[in-house]
Amino acid sequence: MKKYFVYILKCSDDSYYVGVTSNLSRRIEEHQIGKYKNSYTFKRRPVVLVFYTEFKEVALAIIKEKQIKKWSRAKKEALINNMFEELPNLSKKLFK
């Protein structure tokens, strides 16, 4: 059974990159060596893997990747630090 991974990298400029792959170790290596010169991480190396989770269906992995990409930095850091109970409180709320 094929596995898919959603992962978060911390870049050298302290930003986060969220991606999806079916081969986590290969993809991290590609980020580290700068395989794709136009990629977000190319000029932000070295990168550090700070979070990943596994999926059995690629469609679900892609949905989760897109969701996490929209999250605030604080919400991504709560996920990275296994502070799952904080995630609902860090959702953007617009009150006036």
**Identity of residue 50:** V
Is the pTM higher than 0.85? The answer reads: yes
How confident is the model at residue 87, as a pLDDT?
A: 84
Is 93 a residue whose pLDDT tops 90?
no
Give the contacts of 74 (CB within 8 A, at least 6 positions apart).
90
Domain contains 47: yes
Q: Which domain holds residue 40?
A: 4-71
Contacts of residue 9, Cβ cutoff 8 Å, sequence gap at least 6:
16, 17, 19, 28, 31, 41, 47, 48, 49, 50
Please report whether residue 91 resides in a domain: no
Q: What tens digit of pLDDT does each residue of 24-69 get?
A: 999 999 999 999 999 999 999 999 999 999 999 999 999 999 999 9
**Is residue 44, in this structure, part of any structural domain at all?**
yes
- CATH code, domain carrying 17: 3.40.1440.10
| Residue 20 resides in a domain | yes
- What is the domain count for the chain? 1
